[in-house]
């Protein structure tokens, strides 16, 4: 006769053989209060407490996820036709428990039947928090019909597009709430907000602070927070001078008058901030290493530069205006996906293939903390001007044991800088000179760089090739009115020798809409299809009326699609004509006001 204890033993042995860091494996009941409460009325018979065979939770790393397992000894009792017999069938039973647990958790529900480890029936579902139904857990190879590592279950859930999209929206919503709280109750300046967020995330990596912060007296908390940041920085293999530069912008935390003072809501702002970031931001960062969390608090949006997916595992990527490091994180994500589960390759990417340059000390601190929070890579951050020989020489020559000469450059230079040699195209020209011959540079710059002549255009085209320019949506940086474009160059190939004309794309409608509270969002889920169509057109150099055109240009020409593109008259209506006139008027007004100075782009 089949024995259910044997099935449980098979599952128990599998869990012990493939543990996941931070997991809590319990049987029949849970010590987690929220789980215990949800199961208190989940008996399969209809009354009383539910007792799943296994309950696996992750209180520290993924507190809103639970895995529940139900076993049956006989494979004939694996699944009923209508999933309505939870007492008798494994699938029916685990879905019954999932229904209760999903009121507060994302649930992975696993049904296991059989008493032979080599011949089990396994069904794996996921039921997201608040969802009324469970679905088969998505996997690149189809339904999960065997027991796999706990870590792999979490990966499949984490990178489920539905889960990722929902989680990123939750982070954005939380970042807005946190922005307002830091402004209204902590009285933090805009430049201080991302430093406080990154500082708290760094401090929570220190085990002493993580365990004890809630027990510190309010007057000591800020000091202990800074000490924790110092300890984390000391564990990083970077030169002492660079460490000092990184730490200096955080020093205000110790003395800020409002952070540790009781406010009119009878709470200490720093206590509230640490608690909220520990609960809402740290778990997100632990799950998604490829999202610029710090950049969310600095207003960065990287969807365009992250869309090409043309990096290789041998590329060395540099951003000479690194800001918070968002472009480097986007590049890291792309190469990580290509590396797959190879930890050695991923480690090499972080140590040798990501390089950043940032002149402003507080931005350098944010970039360094961003890379530390993702593991290594921080040693290849240079603090200084990208125009200085102290930066240009090691980048151009490479540094043995650290990094080679960059092959790819991603840059969003500061806009409307005053001073000789500080035009946006001067930053682009310097980046191109640094890159290896044949390297690729991608730059997000104001549209004025494409339309107006500047001496830097002669310098660029004398040594490098303009491969393409893509005009971006007018309100991409809403509410700031700057209109931008992407320029793509090939390094150290004179433009006059290029075998093909420059390709120009009219990338104005990305499907995003402006909302009052959430900014520009992909409300109608159009972006992915539009992005893929744009990238395909770019790689194939497709020419289409109203969308793209190829044209040979020189330094004195305009570098944008609008100057050469044929009009698709079949799509013109009175409303579109009026809209174009309005957009042109706004564009001209923006050009006239450009001297007012707009200093922050995507990544600076």
pLDDT of the residue at 601: 45
Q: Does the pLDDT of residue 216 top 90, yes or no?
A: yes
Where residue 375 falls among pLDDT bands split at 50, 70, 90? low
Q: Which residue matches tokens 């299809």?
A: 529
Lowest-confidence segment of 136-140, 356-360, 382-386, 593-597 by average pLDDT: 593-597
Dump pLDDT digits (tens) for 298-326. 654 445 554 445 789 999 999 999 998 88
Q: Find residue 113's DSSP bridge partners.
A: 72, 121
- Reference 356, options 376, 334, 336, 335; nearest CA is 376
- Reference 464, options 506, 412, 428; nearest CA is 428
Bond prior to 162 in cis (omega within 30° of 0): no
Q: Does the pLDDT of residue 289 top 70, yes or no?
A: no
**φ, ψ of residue 409 in degrees (nearest 5):** -120, 130
pLDDT of the residue at 305: 54
Structure tokens that stand for 175 in this block: 């970042």
**In contact, 476 and 485? CB cutoff 8 Å:** no
Secondary structure letter of residue 507 according to DSSP: -
pTM of the shown model: 0.75
- Taking residues 261-268, report their average pLDDT: 88
pLDDT of the residue at 190: 84
Dump pLDDT digits (tens) for 174-194. 888 888 899 899 999 888 988
Task: Find the helix packing angle between 240-247 and 361-372, rounded to 10°.
Answer: 110
**In contact, 391 and 427? CB cutoff 8 Å:** no
**In contact, 87 and 45? CB cutoff 8 Å:** yes
Burial of 400 per CB tally in 10 Å (0-12, 13-18, 19+): exposed
Q: Which residue matches tokens 């080679």?
A: 404
| CB count in 10 Å sphere of residue 327 | 30
Instruction: Report how far residue 171's alpha carbon sits from residue 155's, in angstroms, rounded to the nearest whole number.
Output: 19
**In contact, 494 and 463? CB cutoff 8 Å:** yes
- Reference 39, options 504, 78, 30, 508; nearest CA is 30
Using alpha carbons, list the distances in angstroms from residue 37 to 32, 69, 105, 118. 9, 18, 12, 36
Instruction: Report how far residue 55's alpha carbon sits from residue 67's, in angstroms, rounded to the nearest whole number.
Output: 6
Count the helix, strand and coil residues of the chain and give each as a percent rounded to the nearest 5. 45, 15, 45
Where residue 343 falls among pLDDT bands split at 50, 70, 90? confident
Q: Does the pLDDT of residue 339 top 90, yes or no?
A: no
Q: Which residue matches tokens 């610029």?
A: 292
Percent of the chain with pLDDT over 90: 63
Instruction: Report how far residue 158's alpha carbon sits from residue 497's, in angstroms, rounded to the nearest whole number.
Output: 47
Q: Which residue matches tokens 């409002």?
A: 258
Where residue 464 falls among pLDDT bands split at 50, 70, 90? very high
Instruction: Report how far residue 362's alpha carbon sits from residue 177's, in angstroms, rounded to the nearest whole number.
Output: 23
Structure tokens that stand for 324 in this block: 């918070």
Dump pLDDT digits (tens) for 497-552. 999 999 999 999 999 888 876 778 888 889 889 998 999 999 999 999 889 999 99
Secondary structure letter of residue 1 according to DSSP: -
Mean pLDDT of the chain: 89
pLDDT of the residue at 2: 63
Instruction: Report how far residue 547's alpha carbon sits from residue 564's, in angstroms, rounded to the nearest whole number.
Output: 11
Where residue 97 falls among pLDDT bands split at 50, 70, 90? very high
Where residue 378 falls among pLDDT bands split at 50, 70, 90? low
- DSSP H/E element including 106: strand 106-113
| Residues 227-261: b if buried by 16+ CB within 10 A, e if exposed | bbbbbbbeeeebeeebbebbbebbebbeebeebbe
- Taking residues 248-252, report their average pLDDT: 95
Q: Residue 80 half-sphere exposure, CB side, CA atoms within 13 Å?
A: 14
- Taking residues 367-387, report their average pLDDT: 83
Torsion sign, CA atoms 594, 598, 602, 604: positive
Q: Which residue matches tokens 């220190």?
A: 206
Q: Does the pLDDT of residue 452 top 90, yes or no?
A: yes
Lowest-confidence segment of 96-100, 531-535, 544-548, 565-569 by average pLDDT: 565-569
Q: Which residue matches tokens 């009354």?
A: 47
Instruction: Report how far residue 145's alpha carbon sits from residue 7's, in angstroms, rounded to the nearest whole number.
Output: 16
296 or 19, which is more confident:
19
**φ, ψ of residue 113 in degrees (nearest 5):** -130, 140
Instruction: Report how far residue 428's alpha carbon sits from residue 469's, in angstroms, rounded to the nearest whole number.
Output: 14
Q: Find residue 57's DSSP bridge partners.
A: 24, 66
pLDDT of the residue at 599: 42
**3-class DSSP string for 65-80:** EEEEEEEECCHHHCCC
Q: Which residue matches tokens 């989940």?
A: 42
């Amino acid at each position: 006769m089949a024995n259910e204890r044997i099935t449980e033993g098979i599952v128990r042995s599998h869990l012990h053989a493939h543990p996941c860091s931070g997991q809590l494996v319990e049987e029949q009941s849970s010590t987690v209060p929220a789980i215990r409460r949800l199961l208190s009325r989940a008996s399969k018979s209809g009354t009383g407490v539910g007792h799943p065979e296994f309950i696996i939770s992750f209180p520290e790393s993924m507190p809103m996820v639970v895995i529940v397992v139900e076993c049956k000894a006989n494979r004939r009792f694996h699944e009923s036709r209508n999933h309505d017999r939870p007492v008798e069938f494994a699938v029916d039973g685990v879905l019954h428990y999932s229904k209760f647990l999903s009121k507060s958790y994302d649930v992975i529900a696993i049904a296991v039947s059989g008493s032979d480890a080599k011949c089990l029936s396994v069904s794996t579902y996921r039921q997201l928090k608040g969802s009324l139904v469970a679905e088969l857990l998505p996997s690149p190879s189809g339904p999960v019909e065997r027991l796999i590592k706990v870590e792999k279950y979490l990966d499949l859930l984490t990178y489920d597009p539905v889960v990722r999209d929902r989680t990123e929206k939750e982070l954005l919503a939380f970042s807005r709430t946190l922005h307002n709280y830091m402004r209204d109750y902590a009285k933090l300046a805009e430049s201080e907000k991302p430093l406080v967020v990154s500082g708290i995330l760094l401090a929570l990596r220190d085990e002493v602070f993580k365990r004890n912060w809630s027990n510190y007296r309010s007057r000591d908390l800020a000091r202990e927070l800074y000490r924790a940041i110092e300890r984390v920085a000391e564990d990083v293999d970077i030169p002492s001078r660079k460490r000092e530069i990184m730490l200096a912008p955080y020093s205000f935390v110790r003395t800020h008058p409002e952070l540790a003072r009781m406010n009119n809501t009878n709470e200490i702002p720093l206590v509230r901030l640490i608690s909220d970031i520990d609960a809402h931001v740290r778990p997100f960062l632990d799950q998604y290493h490829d999202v610029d969390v710090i950049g969310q608090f600095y207003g960065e949006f990287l969807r365009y530069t992250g869309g090409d997916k043309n990096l290789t595992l041998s590329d060395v990527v540099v951003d000479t205006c690194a800001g918070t490091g968002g472009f480097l994180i986007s590049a890291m994500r792309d190469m990580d996906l290509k590396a797959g589960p190879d930890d050695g390759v991923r480690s090499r990417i972080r140590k040798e293939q990501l390089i950043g340059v940032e002149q402003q000390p507080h931005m350098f601190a944010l970039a360094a903390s961003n890379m530390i929070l993702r593991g290594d890579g921080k040693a290849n951050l240079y603090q200084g001007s990208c125009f200085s020989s102290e930066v240009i020489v090691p980048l151009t020559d490479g540094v043995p044991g650290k990094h080679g000469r960059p092959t790819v450059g991603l840059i969003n230079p500061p806009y409307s800088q005053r001073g000789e040699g500080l035009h946006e195209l001067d930053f682009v020209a310097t980046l191109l000179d640094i890159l290896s011959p044949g390297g690729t540079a991608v730059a997000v710059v104001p549209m004025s760089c494409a339309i107006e002549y500047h001496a830097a255009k002669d310098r660029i085209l004398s040594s490098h090739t303009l491969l393409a320019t893509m005009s971006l949506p007018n309100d991409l940086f809403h509410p700031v009115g700057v209109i931008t474009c992407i320029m793509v160059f090939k390094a150290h190939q004179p433009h006059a020798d290029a075998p093909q004309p420059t390709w120009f794309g009219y990338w104005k409608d990305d499907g995003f809409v402006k909302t009052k509270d959430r900014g520009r969002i992909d409300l109608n889920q159009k972006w992915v299809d539009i992005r893929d169509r744009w990238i395909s057109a770019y790689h194939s150099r497709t020419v289409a009326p109203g969308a793209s055109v190829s044209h040979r240009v020189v330094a004195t020409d305009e570098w944008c699609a609008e100057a050469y593109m044929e009009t698709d008259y079949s799509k013109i209506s009175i409303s579109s004509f009026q809209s174009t006139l309005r957009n042109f008027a706004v564009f001209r007004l923006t050009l006239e006001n450009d001297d007012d100075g707009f200093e922050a782009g995507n990544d600076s």
